[in-house]
Amino acid sequence: MSDPNHTPSALITGITGQDGSYLTELLLDKGYTVHGIIRRSSLTERPRLDHLTLDPSIYGTRLFLHYADLDDATSIRRILFKIHPHEIYHLAGQSHVGASFEIPESTCEFTAMGTLRLLELLRDMDPAPKFLNIGSSEIFGHPDRDPQDESTPMNPVNPYGAAKAFAVQITRVYRESFGLFACNAICYNHESPRRSKSFVTRKITNAVARIAAGRQDTVALGSLDVARDWGFAGDYVRAMWLALQHDRPMDYVVATGRLTPLRDFLEIAFSHAGLDWEKHVTQDPRYMRPAEPTRLVGNARRAKDVLGWEPSVNLQRLVAMMVDADKSRSKRRDD
């Protein structure tokens, strides 16, 4: 834990994303001063953080944003040595699996090498901040067992998974070789109303809202035969924080332990709006991935036993939250 006599401080990369916004809220609620790194190319509009950055009692006093790119070690070094945070939560990187086949080099540059650059900078800091890297179930790809845990061999099947596998492994190397307090949170799919519409879950719930409002008729998806372990992002950032409060650095699988077919997700989402999904869902080859992971379901026993973490939002409640939020948005504007 940080010194109780001083205000704890944290640096978040990827602060404008889904997880970054929930984690920022959590840390502010716990009395932290929060710093976030944002890309120079980021839009000036940051809807997931607007409720915080537009509040003068928070922004500029307890929340600060800094411009830097993950391939710019000089700027990141300057930020790190200026604020010297107690904790670093590394969430940034190209996180869309499908897009990683189109932009594999930049995916690896930011997701893999960006992690290495941060770890190298931490070696020069005294004391070094506690560090959490966010891994992904995609590192397992085609696993040799299910459910997967922290000892499951990595076998990624896409560039994103390969980049994340490097990031997870290099974090372990720096922990074991240089004594850094460096952890991995190997997070399975986690969703929320703040999820980008480029991800299939939010694409579905947004389509449900628009179909219910008469603004569209169908939604085109890729394979309907996939299944995932879906949880709530708000629960998962709590596990991230807990990982850095433990007295020893470890890796943790963060998951619900429940494997849900996409068809079941569709059923829950459409039925919540009184619709039959089979009348509104089509398949489009453009959304088929060259390689699809199989049976990615996590065993979060270590997170439960060591950190006392368990998910609090089940899938039915999560999907209802997402559909209701998209229906509210649909009433306000045609998005």
Identify residue 239 by its one-letter amino acid code: A
The two tokens of residue 205 are 């719930």
Q: Which of 87, 138, 150, 191 is catalytic?
A: 138
Q: Check if the beta carbon of residue 186 is closer than 8 Å to that of residue 246.
A: no
Q: Which of 32, 160, 174, 236 is catalytic?
A: 160
Q: CA-to-CA distance for 136 and 96, rounded, in angstroms?
A: 11
Q: CA-to-CA distance for 86 and 118, rounded, in angstroms?
A: 14
Q: Give how far the C-alpha of residue 124 lies from the chain's centroid of Cα atoms, to the nearest Å.
A: 27
For residue 254, give the DSSP letter.
Answer: E
The number of residues making up the chain comes to 335
Say which residue the tokens 């609090």 belong to: 312
105 is catalytic: no
Q: Which of 136, 137, 192, 330 is catalytic?
A: 136
Contacts of 331 (CB under 8 A, 6+ apart): 213
Helix pair angle (159-178, 114-122), 10° resolution = 10
For residue 152, give the DSSP letter.
Answer: S
The two tokens of residue 237 are 């950032």
136 is catalytic: yes
Q: Check if the beta carbon of residue 259 is closer than 8 Å to that of residue 297.
A: yes
The two tokens of residue 272 are 């919540």
42 is catalytic: no
Q: CA-to-CA distance for 120 and 218, rounded, in angstroms?
A: 48
For residue 296, give the DSSP letter.
Answer: B
Distances from the Cα of 252 to the Cα of 11, 142, 294, angstroms:
20, 19, 21
Q: CA-to-CA distance for 220 and 230, rounded, in angstroms?
A: 21
Q: CA-to-CA distance for 132 and 12, rounded, in angstroms?
A: 10
Active-site residues: which are they? 136, 138, 160
